[in-house]
Structure 1
Amino acid sequence: MAIIIIVTAFFASLLTLFSGFGLGTLLMPVIAVFFPLAVAIAITAFVHLMNNLFKLITLWKNIHWKIGLQFGIPALLSAIPGAWLLTKLTDLENVSTYDLFDFEATMTPIKIIIGSLLILFAAVEFLSVAKKTHFTDKYLTIGGILSGFFGGLSGHQGAFRSAFLLRTTLDARQFIATNAFIASLVDITRLIVYGINMNLLLKEVSLGLIIATILAAFAGVLVGKTGIHKITIAFIQKLVSIMLFMIGLILILGII
């Protein structure tokens, strides 16, 4: 059990260093195999926070502060009405429920809408015309508001944030570092608002496993950082496109 969780944390951290999102999506289902869902969510949230802070420490020199603040703060604030709207839409009738390998998948209207949006973003990234367009400074705030709102509505703010940040003038290193900065703001705010039930964590999970999982995520960042000089923004665009499509598809299918 521990080996599976630790290895997943390492590879998920390595992969998502470049995309800027997806750690929780990859890690939480694996942990949920071995622990109750509430515990799995708590572990994932804590690892996610520590991982983003570690990325921030190791990459802070590459942060584009103007874009980070001009984009990140509106994204942070606009996530609140998005999350509020989500609570109002939860009463909508499910489209379909089905069993998938002993897992109950639930297709809902909001998941289908958000999943379709993510797939649309993925398709746009593959268009050569889109790759030549960039946000000017005056559109950064608008991009932040839209990404934050849809992120709050879907619970997948990282996916929308990465899709929008790719339309800025950031190079590969700046994209990774600035994304980590904004993600840290989101995680810290989420921690302040919701908190992490450490008593629940320590009651259900050994401290050693929590530390080992965090260290594995740190190792993924360090390994990824050694090759960061070889990474181009074109590679990140392709990676983000693939992950946007995958997450959009599994959202539509009700798997997450």
Structure 2
Amino acid sequence: MDFVLVGIVALLGSGLTFFSGFGLGTLLMPVFALFFPIDIAIALTAIVHLLNNLFKLSLIGKKANIKTVLRFGIPAIIFAFLGAYILGALTEVETLFTYQIGNRSYDITIVKICIALLLIFFSLFDLIPKLKRLEIDTKYLPLGGALSGFFGGLSGHQGALRTAFLIRAKLNKEAFIATGVVIACFIDVSRISIYAKDIWQLGDKLNYPLLITASAMAFIGAYIGNAFLKKITINTIQIVVGVLLILFSILLGIGIL
């Protein structure tokens, strides 16, 4: 049952999030957590996420806009470490409200609300026709990278913010997806380097057959997503991103993510 459920989620998650650039980890980690302790679930998710991004890099990476990668990605990596440092310095992230559904507790924090409001704001630019025609000047890309990296380091939710900025960065659909993949790979590598010691210590607890299954199904999902890329327009991608940003924002704001 675990192989079937994890495989299906990896396949659908990778395929559906190929265009948005975020969401695979959000979908996959709770499924891994059904079968493993949370530390192992996080490690498995991080490995699958990196391998899937590397596979997407092989499919579409050459379409990336290198100038955007550097202007957005370098500040993102630097500020990701800053966000992670601040998180480590905090003994406890301030919780505004805690509620319970069944046996699970959910926390609403200032950080999550701030990110949710930012994402809702940017999603409007992808859904409202008048705002959709507006474009973010490329001089603001380093700011977008800094915000994405900082909040990513602080809470782990950098993918949606990265997409929210890049979708307005005057890139065509191939360059938008490829640029996001390259930046995601940079961040995944830095994240895995921090997790490496813990992952090594987990050893056989990682369940390598399940890890291989999840990775293989994620590869298939990415391959299918890439096959459909030529058949969709940048406008369709903007709508998909806008809807997913709002959904992600709501779930984040109420503490479920």
Task: Give the count of matched residue pairs.
Answer: 256
Question: Separation in 1 of the partners of 2:113 and 2:143?
Answer: 24
Provide structure 2 residue ranges, at least 5 long, that are not aligned to the other structure. Answer: none
Question: Separation in 1 of the partners of 2:109 and 2:83?
Answer: 17
Q: Describe the shift of the 1:88–1:218 C-alpha distance in structure 2 as closer, same or farther (beyond 3 A).
A: same
Q: Secondary structure at the match of 1:95?
A: strand
Match of 2:142 in 1: 141
Deviation at 1:143, TM superposition (A): 2.5
Q: 1:34 aligned to 2:35? A: yes
Range that drifts further, 135-144 or 72-81? 135-144
Deviation at 1:236, TM superposition (A): 1.4
Deviation at 1:4, TM superposition (A): 0.2
Match of 1:240 in 2: 241
Alignment of 1:194-205 (within 5 A): 194-195=195-196, 197-199=198-200, 201-205=202-206
Match of 2:190 in 1: 189
The one-character-per-residue Cα deviations of 1:196-246 (angstroms, maximum 9, x if unpaired) are: 634455422432111111000000011111111012211111111122112
Alignment of 1:157-168 (within 5 A): 157-168=158-169
Provide structure 1 residue ranges, at least 5 long, that are not aligned to the other structure. Answer: none
Match of 1:220 in 2: 221
Range that drifts further, 181-190 or 110-119? 110-119
Q: Describe the shift of the 1:130–1:76 C-alpha distance in structure 2 as closer, same or farther (beyond 3 A).
A: farther
Match of 2:209 in 1: 208
* Conservation of the 8 A alpha-carbon contact between 1:46 and 1:196: no
* Conservation of the 8 A alpha-carbon contact between 2:125 and 2:134: no
Question: Separation in 2 of the partners of 1:83 and 1:240?
Answer: 26
The one-character-per-residue Cα deviations of 1:66-95 (angstroms, maximum 9, x if unpaired) are: 111221111211222233334455635422
Question: Separation in 2 of the partners of 1:76 and 1:11?
Answer: 28
Q: 1:71 aligned to 2:63? A: no
Question: Separation in 1 of the partners of 2:237 and 2:90?
Answer: 33
Over aligned residues, Cα RMSD in angstroms?
1.9
The one-character-per-residue Cα deviations of 1:6-47 (angstroms, maximum 9, x if unpaired) are: 110010000111100111101001111111111100000000
* Conservation of the 8 A alpha-carbon contact between 1:72 and 1:144: yes
Question: Separation in 2 of the partners of 1:18 and 1:192?
Answer: 26
* Conservation of the 8 A alpha-carbon contact between 1:89 and 1:110: no
Q: Secondary structure at the match of 1:11?
A: helix
Question: Separation in 1 of the partners of 2:74 and 2:256?
Answer: 31
Q: Secondary structure at the match of 1:129?
A: helix
Task: Tell me the TM-score normalised to structure 1 length.
Answer: 0.92
Task: Tell me the TM-score normalised to structure 2 length.
Answer: 0.92
Q: Secondary structure at the match of 2:99?
A: strand
Q: 1:45 aligned to 2:41? A: no
Q: Describe the shift of the 1:85–1:155 C-alpha distance in structure 2 as closer, same or farther (beyond 3 A).
A: same
Query: Which amino acid is 1:78 matched to?
Result: F
Question: Separation in 2 of the partners of 1:92 and 1:136?
Answer: 34
